[in-house]
Amino acid sequence: MTVHKLSGAFFHDMQVEWPCPNCNQKTLQIIKESFVSYDTHDTRKFRSEDWFEPEMDSSIFSCMARCSRMQCGEVVACTGKSGWEQGWDEERNDIEYYQWH
């Protein structure tokens, strides 16, 4: 079985540009019902501490993805790390955090 390392994060909308290992097109789509994420031990242990910052929050995710091409339909598994990234909310004029996977 070939293992492909994918780079680049995705966010809550789960839009990815992953190549299908069967047809080599960037047509994989995450099967939303398959997506699960669990906090790491350190996140659970330290989250309630005063010094804990949102950037320290980490988790592990797994999901399945399927090729959207009718003539292909390949299914793959994916696992990786998740964390939080600081951004700026223009509407509220305030700092906001976005979870990445």
The helix (run of H) or strand (run of E) holding residue 48 is none
How sure is the predictor about 73, in pLDDT bands with cuts at 50, 70 and 90? very high
Mean pLDDT of the chain: 90
Does 23 fall in a domain?
no
How sure is the predictor about 87, in pLDDT bands with cuts at 50, 70 and 90? confident
pLDDT at 4: 67
Task: Give the model confidence (pLDDT) of 53-68 as tens digits.
Answer: 888 899 999 999 999 9
CB 62 within 8 A of CB 78: yes
**What pTM did the predictor assign?**
0.80
Per DSSP, the three-state class of 65 is strand
| Structural domain of 54 | 28-100
Q: Can you tell me which residue has the tokens 């996140």?
A: 43
Q: Can you tell me which residue has the tokens 């990234």?
A: 85
Q: Structural domain tally of the chain?
A: 1
CB 101 within 8 A of CB 13: no
Does 95 fall in a domain?
yes
Does 19 fall in a domain?
no
